[in-house]
A and B are shown apart, each in its own frame.
Chain A
């Protein structure tokens, strides 16, 4: 039997935490993980944030980031235990035998140097190729990765290519020195779905063509199912399950894996529109101060009482700007907004308090949406005090009711936001919005920063609250799975325009316009071979045209 390329035995990783005002505490991040990776195979590492997947990925290069230390175990690469090697021989390993692709290509490239110089740097430095050879290989990789104009794209600076292209350049950078192993750390997470599918396909083809082995780290099981041979599921530094893609997706053994596979399976019955929408946006056109470009062009949408309108689109499509116009933060150039039968003043400071109360907002980043120096009690209590003049006992009682409603219970009133988990923070933000007894809540990407299982909990809570309180939602998201789960009607936005609008069943059933079709078909499905099918389907269609 041949020796595997990468052999990890009993890997233990720890770090030191510095709680303010207390003695430093040693924490364990990974508690003893074993796995093998054969040459030319792809292993997917999957888990929620804090599961230790990136830490394990970096350990394959014998590296710990930001005070992280490898405290025990063995990591064998090409028959050598790299944890025993000194910095000098590790230098020959990193960037030659093992390379790394990070999540944010934009933050990883040096903006002052041309792409070609950075892509070939490691290969030349390690003495694998001469400059001319390395450049020839880079061009070859650029063309394999489907980059436009592969001969000349290397002469551009990082800001001169798009995010998806830069991520592919980064893959080229990692593959250029002909490594044996590449660590992909969430390479498509920061990309829009329509871009993600292209990058994913490019990475998969490049892996196949070069015969390199890879560790593919992601939190999205549907993505990892497309590129991997095996999958390892991690939870809080422990291996939960290891198996072939087929086994993990189709026959998961552990409960945690089952939960990950069945995530986003919320069923929601679509409600029929009423005659009196709670919010009506008519012919709204808006642009930011000091620009000569309309970010929103002639938008018309309605939201009905107790129902959810999902606004879906890629980054830059104008969906968050729509929320700013509705809330009055950005007065529109043209058009008007009617709320509960009254025409809203376009500008925030001139709106009466009652209008402000009835329309509340929940943000994407719960971290920055709560003042870190206020307790949960103050955060939820302020709207009660401000809008209803509640004080003392009555206020305390109402805060506790709201906490019960968001399923947090006792003991949270005196906590600070820093003492809550991501999901708990978002729940507190929901409670703050509910405290005002609004008719409409604008939810701006409220689940995008959360792990899938936590996000699921938040969506269920929102649907439940809608049933109890009869509140309407304007739900802004880029995630179509979320839309399917909670929307009654959908508006698809593209470059500042609503390209498709109507009840959910209608918007999500054919015939589609080109953009909606592209968007819908780009969402990864939890099915082996989905990527190939979709790419093949698109090829046939474009050949047919």
Chain B
């Protein structure tokens, strides 16, 4: 734990809190997720720490369960987009030639369509379930990861050690996973933090528009949607999820920055 800068400590602390709350939600939340326990939009009290929502559910419990949904979907989508995007990106860079051309132009094509519009069109014809959301977001985001992974890998594949591996007769798997990947890791990790944040924002946006997570299941975007009328009456309920999204995004960024700094040393990333 020596040498962790203060900013990274703060980031780790908040990220840790959010993830712990998400994992242990049923044990931490004081009330059930969809349980109506009080009056509409009650102010915060010792009974309901953040007050109640538009139909009298405990807001703190909704926030904790909502965080679970949002963080789970964002994490799963990020893992999917990274696995797919980086493997395809490395494959394109190492293969070169027409393989690279076909993959890259296809990705350009997908990227030319705004992702929100694309997602809205797909979700309007597909059932809106959590797995569909994850796959859709993962696929859309993997195009961004592909571009980065390919760009980084193109720089690495012109190095003499990659040429030496080719001359030795190595297969493409070794060149991708043993020669390219370890050297591309630090920009990818930094990008991973950023992409996770975009995934949080994206799923929240979809839920706010009513095409994401469906009620009564809680998620941060959905909580904003359910309580937005309250803002007119000076009720803060819609702002809590916004605070949560903001603090999570900032903390993840702080952690990603630190990891990037740590891994840029050329000592096998152990520095």
Interface residues of A (CB under 8 A from B): 20-22, 327-329, 348, 351, 353, 356-357, 360-361, 363, 365, 368-375, 382-383, 386, 416-419, 432, 436
Q: Are A368 and B268 in contact (CB under 8 A)?
A: no
A363–B268 CB distance below 8 A: no
Q: Which 6 A-B pairs have the closest CB atoms?
A: A20-B265, A373-B182, A20-B271, A369-B160, A418-B266, A372-B266
Contacts of A383 in B (CB 8 A): 168
**From B164, B262, B268, B271, residue with most partner A Cβ within 10 Å:** B164
The answer to whether B163 and A329 have CB atoms under 8 Å apart is yes
Q: Does B257 contact A (CB under 8 A)?
A: no
Beta-carbon nearest neighbor of B169 in chain A: A356
Decide: A416 and B170 in contact? CB cutoff 8 A: no
Q: Closest residue of chain B to A22, judged by CB? A: B3
Nearest CB in chain B: distance from A101 CB, A: 31
Contact, CB under 8 Å: A418 / B161: no
State A432–B163 Cα separation when bound (angstroms).
Answer: 14
CA distance A509 to B179 in the complex (A): 47
Given A368-B161, A373-B182; A361-B167 close (CB under 8 Å) = yes
Q: A439 CB to closest chain B CB, in angstroms?
A: 15
Pick the most buried of B159, B163, B168: most chain A CB atoms within 10 A of its CB.
B168
A417 — nearest CB in chain B belongs to which residue? B266
Contact B167 A363 (CB under 8 A): no
Across the interface, do A365 and B160 meet the contact criterion of CB distance under 8 Å? yes
- CB-contact partner of A353 in B159, B169, B182, under 8 A: B169
CB distance from A84 to the nearest CB of B (A): 38
Pick the residue among A21, A369, A417 that contacts B164 (CB under 8 A). Answer: A369
Q: How far is the CA of A289 from the CA of B68 in the complex (A)?
A: 55
Bound Cα distance A282, B179 (Å): 35
Bound CA–CA A368/B266 (angstroms): 12
Which B residues are CB-close (under 8 A) to A372?
183, 266, 268
In contact, A373 and B269 (Cβ under 8 angstroms): yes
Q: Is B105's CB within 8 Å of the partner chain A?
A: no
* A353 and chain B: residue at smallest CB distance: B169
Q: A329-B163, A369-B164, A373-B266 are in contact. List 5 more A-B contacts (CB 8 A).
A: A353-B169, A356-B168, A363-B160, A368-B160, A374-B182
Q: Smallest CB–CB gap between B2 and chain A, Å? A: 9
Q: Which residues of A contact B269 (CB under 8 A)?
A: 373
Q: CB within 8 Å of A: which of B24-57?
A: none
Chain B nearest CB: distance from A357 CB in Å?
Answer: 8
Q: Determine the distance from Cα of A319 to Cα of B271 in the docked complex, in whole angstroms.
A: 40
CB distance from B265 to the nearest CB of A (A): 3
How near does chain B come to A322, taking the closest CB pair, in angstroms?
A: 15
B169 touches A370 (CB 8 A): no
Q: Determine the residue in chain A with the shortest Cβ distance to B3.
A: A21
Q: A20-B262, A373-B268 are in contact. Are A368 and B3 (CB under 8 A)?
A: no
A378 nearest CB neighbor, chain B only: B178
Question: Whole-angstrom distance from the CB of A411 to the nearest CB of chain B?
Answer: 16
Contact B166 A348 (CB under 8 A): yes
Contact B167 A20 (CB under 8 A): no
Residues of A within 8 A of B159 (CB): 368
Neighbouring B residues of A360 by C-beta, 8 Å: 167
Nearest to B269 among chain A residues (CB) is A373
Which of A351, A365, A369, A386 meets B170, CB within 8 Å? A386
Pair B266/A416 contact, Cβ less than 8 Å: yes
Distance from B154 Cβ to chain A, minimum over Cβ atoms (Å): 15
Q: Are A369 and B265 in contact (CB under 8 A)?
A: no
B182 / chain A contacts, CB cutoff of 8 Å: 371, 373-374
Chain A residues with CB under 8 Å of B271's CB are 20-21
Chain A residues lying within 8 Å of B161, measured Cβ to Cβ, are 368-371
Q: Is the CB of A386 within 8 A of B168?
A: yes
Q: Nearest CB to that of A382 among chain B residues?
A: B168
- Complex: A363 Cα to B183 Cα, angstroms: 20
Flag whether B264 is at the interface (Cβ < 8 A).
yes
What is the distance, in angstroms, from A509's C-beta to the closest C-beta of chain B?
Answer: 36
Query: Considering the chains assembled together, what is the distance between the CA atoms of A20 and B169 in angstroms?
Result: 35
Chain B positions 242 through 260: 1 when the CB is less than 8 Å from some CB of chain A, otherwise 0:
0000000000000000000
Query: Of B169, B265, B268, which is within 8 A of A375 by CB?
Result: B268
**How far apart are A232's CB and chain B's nearest CB, in angstroms?**
34
| Chain B stretch 1-33: residues in CB contact (< 8 A) with chain A | 3
CB neighbours of A328 from chain B (8 A): 167
Per-residue CB contact flags for chain B residues 229-249 toward chain A (1 = under 8 Å, else 0) read 000000000000000000000
Q: A356 vs B173: C-alpha distance in the bound complex, in angstroms? A: 18
Closest chain-B Cβ to A377's Cβ sits at a distance in Å of: 12
How far, in whole Å, are A24 and B178 apart by their CA atoms in the complex? 32
Pairwise interchain contact A416-B267, C-beta atoms closer than 8 A? yes
Check B267–A419 contact: CB distance below 8 A. yes
Minimum Cβ distance to chain B for residue A428 (Å): 12
In the complex, 5 of the A-B residue pairs with CB atoms within 8 angstroms, ordered by the A residue number, are: A21-B262, A329-B167, A348-B167, A368-B160, A370-B161
The answer to whether A418 touches B267 (Cβ under 8 A) is yes
- Which of B190-227 touch A at CB < 8 Å? none
Specify which chain B residues have a CB less than 8 angstroms from the CB of A363 in the assembled complex: 160, 164
A371 x B167 contact (CB < 8 A): no
Q: Considering only CB atoms, which chain B residue lies closest to A367 in the complex?
A: B160
Q: Which residues of chain B have C-beta atoms less than 8 A from A21's C-beta?
A: 3, 262, 265, 271
- CB contacts (< 8 Å) of B266 on chain A: these are 372-373, 416-418
**Cα A436 to Cα B268 with chains together (Å):** 25
In the assembled complex, the Cα of A372 lies from the Cα of B271 at a distance in Å of 13
Of chain B, the residue at the smallest CB distance from A386 is B168
Instruction: Please measure, in the bound complex, the distance between the C-alpha atom of A197 and the C-alpha atom of B50, giving whole angstroms.
Output: 82
B164 partner residues in chain A, CB cutoff 8 A: 361, 363, 369, 432
Q: How far is the CB of A433 from chain B (nearest CB, A)?
A: 9
* Complex Cα–Cα for A373 and B268 (A): 4
Min CB distance, A436 to chain B, in Å? 8
Chain A residues with CB under 8 A of B267: 20, 416, 418-419
Residue of A nearest to B267 (CB): A416
How far is it, in angstroms, between the C-alpha of A371 and the C-alpha of B163 when the chains are bound? 11
Closest partner residue, chain B, to A429 (CB atom): B164
| A361 to B161 CA separation, bound complex (whole angstroms) | 11
Q: How far is A46 from B269 in the complex, measured between Cα atoms in Å? A: 37
Which parts of B154-188 form the interface with A (CB within 8 Å)? 159-161, 163-164, 166-170, 178-179, 182-183
Interface string of B100-142 (1 = CB under 8 A from A): 0000000000000000000000000000000000000000000
Residues of chain B lying within 8 A (CB to CB) of residue A348: 166-167
Are the CB atoms of A371 and B183 closer together than 8 Å?
yes
Residues of A within 8 A of B265 (CB): 20-21, 418
The answer for the CA separation of A138 and B159 in the assembled complex, in Å, is 42
Shortest CB distance B165–A (Å): 8
Query: Could you tell me the distance in whole angstroms from the C-beta of B243 to the nearest C-beta in chain A?
Result: 34
CB contacts (< 8 Å) of B167 on chain A: these are 327-329, 348, 356, 360-361
Q: Is the CB of A371 within 8 A of B262?
A: no
Closest to B166 in A: A348
Chain B residues near A371 (CB, 8 Å)?
Answer: 161, 178-179, 182-183
Contacts of A432 in B (CB 8 A): 164
Knowing A20-B267, A21-B265, the reply to whether A373 touches B183 (Cβ < 8 A) is: yes
